[in-house]
Structure 1
Amino acid sequence: MNKQLLWTAFIVLSNLVGAQVGINTANPQGIFHIDGGKDNLKVGLPSIVQQANDFTVAMSSLIGAGTVSVGIGTTTPTQSLDIANGNLRVRNINSSVGVSGDKLLVADSNGIVKVAGVDAFSADDSGNRVLNAAGGADLNANDDWNDNMFTTLLLDVQYDPQNAYDPTTGIYTVKKDGLYFLYGVCGFATPGSGSGVFDGTSGDAFTSLYVDDGRVATTNAVIHRGDKNPLPANSFNLYFLTSNATIWLKAGQQVSLQFLTYGTNNMVGNLSDLKISKANSRLIINKLL
């Protein structure tokens, strides 16, 4: 009798191990299947509309033999966790600051979340920044550049984890193929007084982002002689010229921030009074993908 009960129990357990469990459905589509709307077909696959209220745990050969996957709103998950529609939310998410080993995430056109390249998140600078160059000694138009000639702006390194920026040449050499955001700003300064009165004469100033030998973005502004901002006496006028570009770059390409003034003599009474404030200039590069 005991042998008969043991044998019966063994048969029942064997059937349970191989069974599919369904709640609100007699036609489970996975190891464990909840039909939240009680609207699935008794035979065959439920429609997309019918799957929308379902929760399924399945064995999925699509992500590796013998791998268990979970589907929310789908009975055929293709990833370890597959949400058919909607957003992922974490309530009371941990507010700790990221560390250098963290990775940035993106979602592809199919909604699959993955690591954006292999670059680590920057805990020392913002987001996925790979360069922040700013600062250095001021330049003046009398000694440091020529009229109507583009000149590369040399800046001090503030943040350069790839050691890709050469402050002696002002060139950032791309280390990895990818999509980059480039941002350059050049701060032109003229004195608040003492370099001529406003009489309508002026010149043009340009700030450009270069990739190799070609400009990918340019901004210009007119600088009038004697034109004063409403600043305190003996202060200076500051013109921020910014350029930015989002562009695919390949390893080995070179990025630089360059400037030019045209009609420079018309901007100030004395060329030494037209300066570039490196404290107000910078080159920032972010790797997006």
Structure 2
Amino acid sequence: MKKNCLLVLMTLSFQCVFSQVGINTPNPQGILHIDGQKDNPVSGSTFTPAQQSNDILVNSTGKIGVGTLVPVTKIDARNSGNGAIGFGASSLTASAADEGAVRYNSGVEYSNGNEWLPLLTAQPTNNKVIVIAAKTNNNVKLATPSIPTITAGLQNRASNYLVDWSKTFESNSGTNFNAATGIFTAPRNGIYVASFTTDLAPLAINYTTDPLNPIQIEAIWQLYDNTTGLAVTNIVNTVKCVNTMSSNSVGNIDAGSNCTASFYMTAGQRLMPYIWFNLNNSIVANFSLNNTGGYNNLTIAEQ
């Protein structure tokens, strides 16, 4: 009887001692706790980040902490030290590895259950260019962007190249958009989405109908090559957005337009906005933008 009781006590003691296993530590905090540097306290539950950083722990819910004693996910390597996780190559097919598997194969790939797909983890060397600008004056270049700036206002039935912007933001180098000339120069090959909005000050639209010159206001993006020229021969592409207007108005109304377009630009190509309108019989430069409501804006974003 005494021998049987002793055997039971020894068995219970063995199970109690080994309910938590500590390697290099007498103070395990989970089912299995490995102290790599043997630098943990011998008692208590307070561990410094440095002490945790070399530990591996498996808790009672099956979560694994690498460098942390409080894993939140199935495998948690977040800590104050080196939390990087390395993935190796795998010869398994995507279906054999099953959905959700991750491997490294000249880049990180994941399995969707049918094929290995690349994770787009690479970041561009340069930040994407974003330009935001506003126009609060009536300065334009008429006919071509190479002539002197006109300050008397915009002209009916003429190409009004929008210059003298006020740049409110530009990322990256901050030098791709020339606010004075209104010209954006692409720093590298890529897709650029460009948008601008204009609004003329309230005016009476009064025009004798001419089928060859409809009543309208056009917002236009002009793309030039990567030389220094701004002549017709330098134009690569033109995108026009048109708003038609009523032929006559009893009172003053706003005539506005906007244009948003995507361009594939090679490094050095240039982009410039202008507007053309036909709202009355006048051909003099005496029209004004609506400069008080924040209606005249420009945005260019590299994709």
Within the alignment, does 1:226 sit opposite 2:249 as a pair?
yes
Aligned-partner Cα distance in 1 for 2:208–2:187: 49
Task: Give the paired residue count.
Answer: 183
Note the alpha carbon deviations across 1:86-107, whole angstroms, 9 max, x for none. 8xxxxxxxxxxxxxxxxxxxxx
Could you tell me which residue of structure 2 aligns to residue 73 of structure 1? 101
Secondary structure at the residue paired with 1:49?
helix
Could you tell me which residue of structure 1 aligns to residue 218 of structure 2? 206
* Residue from 100, 114, 121 that aligns with 1:114: 121
* Residue from 262, 273, 276 that aligns with 1:260: 276
Alpha carbons 1:265, 1:271 under 8 Å: kept: no
Secondary structure at the residue paired with 2:281?
helix
Secondary structure at the residue paired with 1:252?
coil
Q: What does 1:102-141 align with in structure 2 at a 5 Å threshold?
A: 110-120=117-127, 128-138=128-138
**Larger CA Rg, structure 1 vs 2:** 2
Percent of pairs identical after alignment? 10
Alpha carbons 1:206, 1:260 under 8 Å: kept: yes
Note the alpha carbon deviations across 1:116-156, whole angstroms, 9 max, x for none. 52233xxxxxxx45211113224699942333221211221
* Residue from 161, 165, 170 that aligns with 1:160: 170
| Unmatched 5+ stretches in structure 2 | 1-90, 143-150, 225-234
Alpha carbons 2:206, 2:279 under 8 Å: kept: no
Note the alpha carbon deviations across 1:231-268, whole angstroms, 9 max, x for none. xxxxx63344121222211121111111011253389x
Within the alignment, does 1:51 sit opposite 2:60 as a pair?
no
Alpha carbons 1:188, 1:276 under 8 Å: kept: yes
| Unmatched 5+ stretches in structure 1 | 1-44, 54-71, 87-108, 121-127, 229-235
Could you tell me which residue of structure 2 aligns to residue 182 of structure 1? 194
Letter in 2 for 1:115: A
Q: What does 1:132-151 align with in structure 2 at a 5 Å threshold?
A: 132-138=132-138, 143-151=152-160
Alpha carbons 2:193, 2:261 under 8 Å: kept: yes
Within the alignment, does 1:171 sit opposite 2:183 as a pair?
yes
With over 3 angstroms needed to count, the CA separation of the structure-2 counterparts of 1:158 and 1:85, relative to structure 1, is same
Aligned-partner Cα distance in 2 for 1:80–1:282: 41
Could you tell me which residue of structure 2 aligns to residue 84 of structure 1? 111
With over 3 angstroms needed to count, the CA separation of the structure-2 counterparts of 1:159 and 1:227, relative to structure 1, is farther
Aligned-partner Cα distance in 1 for 2:250–2:170: 37
Letter in 1 for 2:249: G
Q: TM-score, normalised by structure 2?
A: 0.49
Q: What does 1:10-49 align with in structure 2 at a 5 Å threshold?
A: 48-49=94-95
Secondary structure at the residue paired with 1:277?
coil
Could you tell me which residue of structure 1 aligns to residue 18 of structure 2? none
Alpha carbons 2:197, 2:298 under 8 Å: kept: yes
| Structure in which a larger fraction of residues adopt strand | 1
Aligned-partner Cα distance in 2 for 1:253–1:176: 9
Deviation at 1:175, TM superposition (A): 1.8
Could you tell me which residue of structure 2 aligns to residue 275 of structure 1? 288
Alpha carbons 2:111, 2:117 under 8 Å: kept: no
Q: TM-score, normalised by structure 1?
A: 0.51
Aligned-partner Cα distance in 2 for 1:237–1:214: 35
With over 3 angstroms needed to count, the CA separation of the structure-2 counterparts of 1:197 and 1:244, relative to structure 1, is closer
With over 3 angstroms needed to count, the CA separation of the structure-2 counterparts of 1:240 and 1:149, relative to structure 1, is closer
Could you tell me which residue of structure 1 aligns to residue 33 of structure 2? none
Aligned-partner Cα distance in 1 for 2:161–2:176: 16
